[in-house]
Structure 1
Amino acid sequence: MNRIRIVAILSLLFGFMLMLLPVDSFAKGELVYVVPIEKTVEKGLYSFLKRAVETAENENADAIIFEINTPGGAVDAATDIGKLLTSTNIKTVAFINNRALSAGAYISLNMDEIYMVKGGTIGSAAIIDQQGNTAGKKAESYWFAEMKNAAKHADRNPIYALAMADENVDLPEYGAEKGKLLTLTSEQAVEVKYAEGIVNNLDELLELLGYTEADVRPLEVSMAEKIARFITNPFVYSILLTIGFLGIVLELFSPGFGVSGFIGISALLLFFYGHLVAGLTGYETLILFITGLALILLELFISGGIVGILGFVAIISSLFLAADNVVHMGISLLIAIVVSILISILLIKVFGKKLRLFKKLILTDSTNTESGYVSNINRSELVGLDGYALTILRPSGTILIGNERIDAVSEGAFIDKGSKVKVVKAEGARIVVRARTNLDK
């Protein structure tokens, strides 16, 4: 009887402990992350997607669904994202919710599966430079190979990926005869097996994939990452660099520290902030920049120019070290320096007399006689007056005329102290006297 009671009590305790354990202790549920890929593809997006993949890997997620709607962007950022997606063991799914063009098409092709909404498009992936022109042969050859390899990732026919990037590939049945890039509709993408299916929304996709009971966790871009994505855009950081250099140039010509210096330094610090958050650089580049700025300010107090040159080199070096693309940075710096110099000249030459700031920089007053300015004091009224020598004049000394002590020089000979003197000449502030004799009238 006692044994039965003991077994019953132990059974109750065991059952109570099982109730306290989480459900995952018995059977781990499926976990799916949903990650957006929106707007322009750049290095800031890569930083966000890297965080998303690492989060999913740490949580042992079953899949990551990337909701894509992008016109494309930087090739170097896209290739880094492609490597990131193909290196993870987690299932990756591209959900093209509108368009995946250019770099967006390349990113989609690097995923395990692709699904599209009705009316969605994928393709048009020509490589162009910052001026909007077709890139050189070497860059094109590299991009063609990347597009074909991306298609092969999921055993897709690479001819369509190549037609998206090379206008010389002839696919007239899909509207891509020679001279035109291939852009597939959702129906065409399914037909050529560049998409696994067409869905209306994310819920329908989850049902199709069998994740209706899964723990679906959206992973959004943080505010810091949004700022970083905006700043790391080459066009945006070119503007920031221009504002930064222009502000510093104007501040160097202004007395004290004013608004232009504050705006310039703030723009450059914002540039570094975006690249730090995006993971493109470290704090060492920021330290190098601050050191260069300090050296330039020190040059204002130390003559020679060497310290200022070292400061300028340190600032330029820090900007190149922070950049992910040396060519883009070189172009941006050239634009920033030229524009800041031209605007500085324009402001000084054209608006200098009108702007309050430049009234402190430019001398507008003239020191002429009409304005009451004189180069020296002329004491011509003293000529002919008599006085006494307060000191020996040999030849200079001090005389007394009336109650006024005056510095004077003798006409030639020494004049003893206490002798009578007469002013014979006044050359500006130089008073010439001679000893007075009884013969003088």
Structure 2
Amino acid sequence: MRRKLALLLVTLGFGGFLAIYNLTPVAGSDHTAAVITLDGAIDTISADFLARAITSAFKGGHSFLIVSLDTPGGTLESTRDIVEGLLASPIPVVVYVSPPGAQAASAGTFVTSAGHVAAMAPATNIGAASPVAAGGADLPETIKDKVTGDTAALLRGIARERGRNAKALEETVLSAASYTAAEALESGVVDIMAQDLDDLLAQLDGMTVQLKSGPVTLRTDGVRLVTITRTPVERFLGMIANPDIAFLLLSIGGMGILIELLSPGLMGPGIVGLIALALAFAVLGNMPVNWVGVGLILLAMSLFYLEAQAPGIGVFGIGGAVSFILGAFLLFGNLSFGPTAPQLPAAPRVEISLWALGTVTVLLLTSAFLTGRAMLQAKTAVVYAGATTSGNLVGQIGHATSDLHPRGTAYVGGEEWTAESDDGEPIQNGKEVLVLGVEGLVLKVFQADKDTSLGEKI
């Protein structure tokens, strides 16, 4: 009897263990959830931010992540990156189109549909996801058919993965259909319409979502929301991620390096140039850029340098101007007199303003011309010291009128000159100096009382 009772208890205990083991996990038991705000155009920066937020929320032990979304659209490449991250997320992600008046247009439709839970606030809209060219222009017919078919297939796949109305979502691509929050809820495009975050949390309580690891039930009663914000680097990159700013930084960087090469030792232009180039490449790395355009702009700087070394020829200068303009045109593949703000609901406009291009080109060519002319005049100029030419100054003795460390001033041939110690050794004020050579308007000297034999010094 005792053995039968013991066996029964063991069986009941094992069965209870299996029952507990197979219970659906409950999210929200630790009463924390993460919240982020994703507004503006969908680009590489926003895709990286969302990926980091998912990782941070998972590692931070939060039960789920709420994405407050308001976007006019974005690039297809960044949209695909976000969709991949949402579909593979290790924690539930709730995409909430808010506040009232917000939109999930174009790329936002894909992001909302890829969430484990899709929610919208009243007076918001979703849809108009037809692919377009940069700047909102229509794609060529052949390319349009291919891209539209591929994009529609992506959205159908997302809808079926999340159990949403694939037909209604597909129409946002094929016919640019757009839905209000009420229409989206009625047609099965989204799961919830919530007035605010409190209403959203109340409706989420008890909802079960499917992760790769299995089903998870959301528990939101008493949950504490923790906001994940962009890092200073992400905010800074988002602020300067503008085609005109990227173009200006690239141009300033090239000019700074060019000036440093033409006038070694200035340091300032070289440092500014390196910083500007580093920022330019950081911005370009987060935008759909044509790197051939970048190469042509840098080639233009090289040609301007050659023109400055051989002024008067003009071939390098003209080639540099042509290379610079072509590079600017190809940098983003588009030019416009209009504003660079996104055209709704299409992808964000990525192009250089013709006003920015014209201004930078004129300043660059003017600077290159003036620099080349000044260097030509310096090379062809004859230096006079009273009636004595610069060639006759070699071998003359004068005296330093300031300390040379190693550059200063010296009085030679009846005039005061800029002088530089030939061996780099300092020469004190008042010491006799002997002229070894003349470089432009600078005398190369050494202290006469160290060695009065010119032949031995040379």
Contact 1:240 1:267 in 2 (8 A): yes
Per the alignment, do residues 244 and 112 of structure 1 end up closer, same or farther by CA in structure 2, a change over 3 Å counting? same
Q: Deviation per CA, 1:308-352, whole angstroms, max 9, x where unpaired?
A: xxxxxxxxxxxxxxxxxxx977989x989x987765324344xx3
Q: Distance in 2 between matches of 1:345 and 1:217?
A: 53
Give 2:107's match in structure 1, choosing from 103, 106, 110.
Answer: 103
Q: Deviation per CA, 1:122-155, whole angstroms, max 9, x where unpaired?
A: 1122222334323433333322222222222322
Per the alignment, do residues 237 and 153 of structure 1 end up closer, same or farther by CA in structure 2, a change over 3 Å counting? farther
Q: Distance in 2 between matches of 1:147 and 1:102?
A: 11
Does 2:143 match 1:122? no
Match of 1:242 in 2: 251
Does 2:38 match 1:37? yes
Does 2:198 match 1:203? yes
Give the letter aligned to residue 347 of structure 1.
S
- 5 Å-filtered alignment, 1:65-104, equals 65-97=66-98, 98-104=102-108
Contact 2:70 2:97 in 1 (8 A): yes
Contact 1:78 1:106 in 2 (8 A): yes
Q: Deviation per CA, 1:73-123, whole angstroms, max 9, x where unpaired?
A: 121111011000000232211110111111111111101221111110111
Match of 1:132 in 2: 136
Match of 2:377 in 1: 363
Q: Deviation per CA, 1:359-397, whole angstroms, max 9, x where unpaired?
A: 85452898699x9989899xxxxxxxxxxxxxxxxxxxx
Per the alignment, do residues 233 and 112 of structure 1 end up closer, same or farther by CA in structure 2, a change over 3 Å counting? farther
Per the alignment, do residues 44 and 207 of structure 1 end up closer, same or farther by CA in structure 2, a change over 3 Å counting? same
| Runs of 5+ unmatched residues, structure 2 | 1-27, 206-219, 289-297, 310-329, 336-350, 392-458
Match of 1:141 in 2: 149
Match of 1:313 in 2: none
Contact 1:254 1:361 in 2 (8 A): no
User: What percentage of aligned pairs have identical amino acids?
Assistant: 22
Give the letter aligned to residue 118 of structure 1.
P
Q: Deviation per CA, 1:20-57, whole angstroms, max 9, x where unpaired?
A: xxxxxxx9423311121111211112222112111222
Match of 1:396 in 2: none
Give 1:268's match in structure 2, choosing from 277, 280, 283.
Answer: 277
Per the alignment, do residues 366 and 376 of structure 1 end up closer, same or farther by CA in structure 2, a change over 3 Å counting? closer
Q: Which has the higher contact order (CA 8 A, sep 6+)?
A: 2
Q: Distance in 1 between matches of 2:78 and 2:51?
A: 12
Per the alignment, do residues 374 and 141 of structure 1 end up closer, same or farther by CA in structure 2, a change over 3 Å counting? farther
Match of 1:187 in 2: 182
Q: Distance in 2 between matches of 1:269 and 1:373?
A: 51
Q: Aligned with 2:41: secondary structure?
A: coil
Does 2:60 match 1:52? no
Per the alignment, do residues 114 and 190 of structure 1 end up closer, same or farther by CA in structure 2, a change over 3 Å counting? same
Contact 2:58 2:91 in 1 (8 A): yes
What's the RMSD between the two structures over aligned residues?
Answer: 4.2
Contact 1:228 1:275 in 2 (8 A): no
Per the alignment, do residues 257 and 344 of structure 1 end up closer, same or farther by CA in structure 2, a change over 3 Å counting? same
Q: Distance in 2 between matches of 1:113 and 1:223?
A: 29
